[in-house]
Amino acid sequence: MNLFTMLLLCTAALIAIYFAMKFIGGDLTVVGDWRKAWRFYSVWAFAVVGILPDAYNAIVASGLLGGADTPEYLTWSMRAAAIGGILLRLIKQVQPPVPDDTDGAGA
């Protein structure tokens, strides 16, 4: 799997998510502070997950750790999961409707 295929799959997943959100009545908008996404802990965690296979392969190649390289399908699936997680983190979630307290009795 190459980078183009991964980008194509991510684009198809985003389109599917968009139509699924429209079906349930949501709207596909990004969070308000999306420009500061690089500061979110969850984005950093997904980035670490995305580079873990490459870091492991580099450690094995340098001889610090014995074993085989990670399979290519595992490497690409972890990268796709990390990119998908970052993209889903930036999508604003649908808020449930607030019940109307018209009788004034309180909770």
Q: What is the pLDDT of residue 104?
A: 63
| Burial class of residue 73 in the structure, from the number of CB atoms within 10 Å of its CB (0-12 exposed, 13-18 middle, 19+ buried) | exposed
Q: Would you say the pTM of this structure is higher than 0.75?
A: no
What is d(CA 52, CA 43) in angstroms, rounded to the nearest whole number?
14
Residue holding tokens 């750790």? 65
Q: What is the pLDDT of residue 1?
A: 59
Q: What is the pLDDT of residue 106?
A: 59
| Residue ranges in the chain whose pLDDT is less than 70 | 1, 25-28, 94, 101-107
Q: What is the pLDDT of residue 64?
A: 83
> Across the strands, what pairs with 91?
30
Angle between helix 41-62 and helix 72-90 axes, rounded to 10 deg: 160
